[in-house]
Amino acid sequence: MRRRASVSLGDRVRLRNFVRKLASGEPVEIGFLGGSISDSGGPNKGVSGDYVSDLSSYFRRVTSNVTIHQGGIPGILNLHFASCLELHIGPKADIIFIELAINDVMHQYKEGHGYHERLIRKALGYARRPATVELAFHTFQPEHLRRLRYLQTNADICGSVAEYYAQPMLAYRALLFDEVARGEMDPAAFMSRDLMHPDPVGHAYMVDAVVEMVRAEARALGSDEPWGPSDEAALERELAPPMFKNNDKISTGVVLLGEDMRRLVVENSTAGFDLRTVSPAFPHPATALHGQGQGSRLALDMRLDEVAAAAPIPFKAGWAFFGYLRDQSGQSRANVSCTNCYCPLYNLYPTQPGRFRQLFTSICMRSDPAGPLRVNLTLEDPTPEINDRLDILGICIAGSPIWP
C-alpha cells in the first residue's frame, strides 16, 4: 500500500544522490517547507506523530550526521517560499520536502503555478543539487468532494511542475482514494475534525510512504542500480527551460542576512539590539539582530526600491517579510508598527509551546502610492522573567504578488 503513494518518482537522480550520501554517512541537510500540516502537526499542537518530527527522527536514526531545516508556516503561500527560500533552507540542502498543495488557489494555471515553479527552480539550483519531493496532503472537506469526486486539489498543479522537472511526488489520493471511494475507509480515520489536517494516523501514512521511497532507492543502489558515471553526468545537467514562459526572468525577491540586514537598521531609533550569532545549534541563518530586555527597540528602514533595483533581476518591490526565531520558550512577545503599509498594529508571539524551533515570518505590505517603509519592533512580554529576547534572522524583499 505504501508504494501506491508514489504518483511519480521522476528520473530519481537527485533522490538517489541523497540516499547514497545518507547511506554512506556523509553530512546531509534536509529541509521541510509547508503550511500548518508541516508546523508540528497543524491544529494538533503539541501532539507526537507529526510527519516532520517522525521523518526527522527516522533520518537521525540512519545517521547522526544530519541537519534538519524546518519551515512550516500556517496558511503560507507559494509566493512566500518562492521569494524567501533562503531564509528557511540553507544553501547546502540535499533534499527538500514540500507540502504546499492545500493553501494556494491554483486551478487557473496562473499565479500559484508560476510561484511554485520559481520555488522549485530556486531549490533545484542549490549547489548540492538537492531533490525536491512533493508531499500532497489532500483535504476531504465537502466543498472539495462536490467539486470533483476524485478530490482534485492544488496538488494536481504542484504535481505537473514536479513531473516537468523529473522530481518525486507522493500523494494521499494515490494512497487512500481507492479505499475511501469504495466506502472501506472513512477520512475521519486519519484526518482531524476539520477534514483538512491529518491526525497522527494520517501523518504516519505519509511517513511510511517517504520511508518506503528511501528504502527502495537504497535497495536499488546496493543491487542492480549502483551509482555510476551516468548518474554524475545527469546530476550536473542544466535545468530545462521554465515550464511557464519567461518564468526564469522574473525576480523571486531578495533575501538579506547578517551584515546586509544590519544596514537597514535605523541606529538613532534602535536600542538594545545588536548583530550576533543566534546559537551554534541553529542551522540557518547563522546570525541575528538580537534584542535583549523589555523595552528594547528595533527600527528598520526597508529601502524597498533601493534593494529591488540592485537585485540580479530588478523588480518592483511589493512586500517585505522579516524572519524571526520562534521557540518553545525564551522569546519575548513584541509589538510591531510600520509606516506606509496596510498593516495594523500587531504583536509577534515568538514563544509557542509545542511548536518547532525554527525561523518564522511576518509580513508588511507596501502601500500605494509608494513611500519609505519603516518597521518598528518593541519587546513587551507579560512574563519577562521567562521570555526576554527576540532574534530577527533575516529580511526578504519580494515583488508584488501579481502575475506580469
Q: Which residues have CB under 8 Å from 112's CB, separation 6+?
A: 77, 78, 104, 105, 106, 154, 157
Q: Determine contact, residues 120/81, Cβ cutoff 8 Å.
A: no
| CA angle (215, 218, 219) in 5-degree steps | 90
Cα–Cα distance between 16 and 23 in angstroms, integer?
A: 10
Cell numbers for 208: 511510511
Q: What is the pLDDT of residue 176?
A: 83
Render the burial of 362-392: b for 16+ CB within 10 Å, e for the rest.
Answer: bebebeeeeeebbbbbbbebeeeeebbbbbb
Q: What is the pLDDT of residue 52?
A: 94
Q: Digits of tens for pLDDT over the chain (404 positions)?
A: 567 888 889 999 999 999 999 999 999 999 999 998 998 755 445 445 799 999 999 999 999 999 999 999 988 888 889 999 999 999 999 999 999 877 766 555 556 678 889 999 999 999 999 999 999 887 765 555 444 555 656 677 778 889 999 999 998 878 887 888 788 888 888 888 887 888 888 999 999 999 999 999 999 999 999 999 999 999 999 999 999 888 898 887 899 999 999 999 999 999 999 999 987 778 899 899 999 999 999 999 988 888 999 998 898 888 889 899 999 899 999 999 988 887 777 899 999 888 888 999 988 877 655 567 899 999 999 999 999 999 999 999 988 764 43
Q: Which residues have CB under 8 Å from 134's CB, separation 6+?
A: 98, 101, 155, 158, 159, 162, 167, 168, 169, 170, 171
Q: Determine contact, residues 299/265, Cβ cutoff 8 Å.
A: yes
> Side-chain half-sphere of 140: how many Cα atoms within 13 Å?
22
Q: What is the pLDDT of residue 21?
A: 98
Stated pTM of the model: 0.92
Q: What is the pLDDT of residue 230?
A: 96
- Domain coordinates in residue numbering, the chain: 2-247, 251-399
Across the strands, what pairs with 392?
Answer: 289, 324
For residue 320, give the nearest of 260, 367, 384, 387 by alpha carbon.
367
CATH numeric code, 251-399: 2.60.120.260
| Long-range contacts of residues 258-262, Cβ cutoff 8 Å, at least 24 apart | 258/285, 258/286, 258/287, 261/289, 261/392, 261/394, 261/395, 262/289
Q: What is the pLDDT of residue 172?
A: 82
Q: What is the pLDDT of residue 404?
A: 37
Cα–Cα distance between 126 and 343 in angstroms, integer?
A: 33
Which residue is it, cell 517585505? Answer: 320
Q: What is the pLDDT of residue 111?
A: 62
Whether domain 2-247 has CATH 3.40.50.10490: no
Q: What is the pLDDT of residue 291?
A: 97
